Amino acid sequence: MGLFDDLKSPQPAPAAPQSGGNRTVEVSFAALPETLDGFKALPLAQLSTPFDTAALAVLALCFYPQDAALSLAMLDTLKGPQPLSAYDKQFIRDRFMGKDYVPRSYFEGAVPGNNYTPAEPYRIKVSENPYSYQEQGYAKLYLQSGGADSPRPVLLRLAKDGKWYLWEQHLLADIRQPESANPWA
């Protein structure tokens, strides 16, 4: 593909999925990538469905406590043509202060009682509801944290290249503390 191939006549973007609105997709990772290239090499990194992109957002956020630069680079990959803003980066940094367990809580088996230690293989469930595709070109999907009562939304946007990019995420909201940090547990 040449440098200016994207300037040729635009192709219409694929239509957003039309579903009954109650589907849940389980995404599984046998191992977690350790590099940005490893992240980009994952089959889900094709971003062909909004479910794939939502699951990868959790994975990218999990790297933040150990390597913030790697995590932000992964998120930028998911953001596609609109990278993280300085505000986005500051928001993420602020949400992680003392709460590195929050993104792990989206993996199956990660609950306060086991200090949010996920079961292996690492599995994430991503769900839609009847209102997930109300706005053309957008999908609002939901992920359940093992430390929250209600699922958290992730908004994805379909680009003209046919990929689903991360538009907004609300995955870093407060959840119950792990038992090891709770003096009352």
* pLDDT one-digit tens code per residue, 74-112: 999 999 999 999 999 999 999 998 899 999 999 999 999
Greater confidence (15 vs 126) lies with: 126
120: phi then psi, degrees, rounded to nearest 5: -110, 145
pLDDT over 90 at 8, yes or no? no
- Expressed in angstroms, the distance from the first to the final Cα of the chain is 58
Task: Report the number of distinct structural domains present in the chain.
Answer: 1
Is 37 part of any domain? yes
Of 11, 21, 16, the residue nearest 132 (C-alpha): 21
- Count Cα atoms within 13 angstroms, Cβ side, for 151: 16
Is 62 part of any domain? yes
Burial of 122 (0-12, 13-18, 19+ CB in 10 A): buried
Is 122 part of any domain? yes
Is 160 part of any domain? yes
Is 154 part of any domain? yes
Of 95, 45, 43, 46, the residue nearest 68 (C-alpha): 95
Q: Decide if 141 contacts 127 (C-beta within 8 A).
A: yes
Please give the residue range of the domain that contains residue 52.
Answer: 20-173
Is 8 part of any domain? no
